[in-house]
Amino acid sequence: MKWMKFALPIGVLVVGYLGMKGIEASASDSAINEEVDTRPTVTIEALTPEDVRVELTSYGEIKPLETTNLAAQVSGEVERWNAKFVSGGLVRRGEVLFEIEADAYEAALLLAEANLASAQAQLIQEQAQADVAAKEAKTMPDARVTDLYLRKPQVMSAQAGVKSAQAQLKIAQRDLENCKVKAPYDALIVSRDISTGDYVTQGSAVAVLNNIEYAEVTFPIAGFDKVFLSDKTIGSEITIEVDDILGSQVKGIIHRDTGVIDNNTRMSYFVARIEDPYAIHSHKPVVKFGSYSTVSFEGKTLSDVYRVPQELVTNRLLWTLDDNDKLKSQKVTVVREENGDFLIQGEFNPNKVVMSLPEYPQNGMAVKVIKTTSELVTAKAN
């Protein structure tokens, strides 16, 4: 029985070995050993060149075209004032703001008219006497006929008297008209410093007005944006969005270049004009003086540029694939940054732009293209 103790383990080993060989012998000869593809995967996209009209944006404060310290041109007592002649009131060009007592100026006008009539009568009389002297002079020797005899100095003096009286009449008419103080333009009343019964003197300031026929926005353009300004910037349309709760938008015109560059910021400044900002002649949104605004307008058109996400361009390099599906970095020129994209130009293959890079891309690295970005988007949509 001792030999059984040694024979049994040896038998088990022999049977196991024979079983293994049997399995190997029964294995199918058609078994295929597949190679593992270790290439990193990428997605690519074909880019199409386009013409892009650059949109420039800036900012600025909305201000009145002009501010006037209104003054009385005649002296007198304030008799009445317009109900809209209050702080915040809106008045139209030529509208009467307040009236000064006119009795003295009406009397001065009557006196001026009377003086003119008297001067004209004096001129008629002198002219008649000059005509008589001229007729008599025809029968007299030339030596006795002088300018004084012909009454020429007297006529000239009478003519001067008429002109003086006409000037006085014109001044009297103007003073009477100035008793009614009118708005010099469509205006916003900023402040009023008079009331009924106050006595105002000639030249004394009585109110402050803002011109609301036009508003202006002075806005800066950075040096790097100046190259994108159109040749027709002055006179072009501009969109002005007011930074308020409503976010009102109005159109304006770029009126002028201020002609200076700021010493500290190196920015150029332009001025846009808004017509009828307080909408007293239209139904457009009201834009108030002192509001801050964002302005935008069109600049130059960039021809044949490619739009790519910013993350695809590093150190001015864009990754593409060559004909053998190997990575290739190519130098590009970033023309402009716009809305998170780069607008680029350069000599590269636009049909195989890599949209998703391996972690450590290398020139000549073999990669596997899984799908184009557009195909992935379509697959997700379906």
> Between 103-137 and 152-177, two packed helices, what is the crossing angle to 10 degrees?
160
Tens-place pLDDT, residues 341-374: 999 999 998 999 999 888 888 999 998 888 665 5
Task: Locate the domains of the chain by residue range.
Answer: 42-51+303-381, 55-65+212-301, 69-152+180-210
Dihedral angle, C-alpha 48, 53, 54, 56, nearest 10 °: -150
CATH topology of domain 42-51+303-381: 2.40.420
DSSP label of 142:
G
Q: Specify the CATH number of the domain 69-152+180-210.
A: 2.40.50.100
Task: Tell me how far apart the alpha carbons of residues 275 and 281 are, in angstroms, rounded to a whole number.
Answer: 10
Overall pTM > 0.75: no
Tens-place pLDDT, residues 170-211: 999 999 999 999 999 999 999 999 999 999 999 989 999 999
- 69 three-state secondary structure: strand
Tens-place pLDDT, residues 67-120: 999 999 999 999 999 999 999 999 999 999 999 999 999 999 999 999 999 999
Tell me, yes or no, if the two domains 42-51+303-381 and 69-152+180-210 fold the same way: no
CATH architecture assignment, domain 55-65+212-301: Beta Barrel (2.40)
Task: Tell me how far apart the alpha carbons of residues 75 and 77 are, in angstroms, rounded to a whole number.
Answer: 7
pLDDT band at 31 (very low <50, low <70, confident <90, very high): very low
> Quick check: 196 and 221 in contact, CB under 8 A?
no
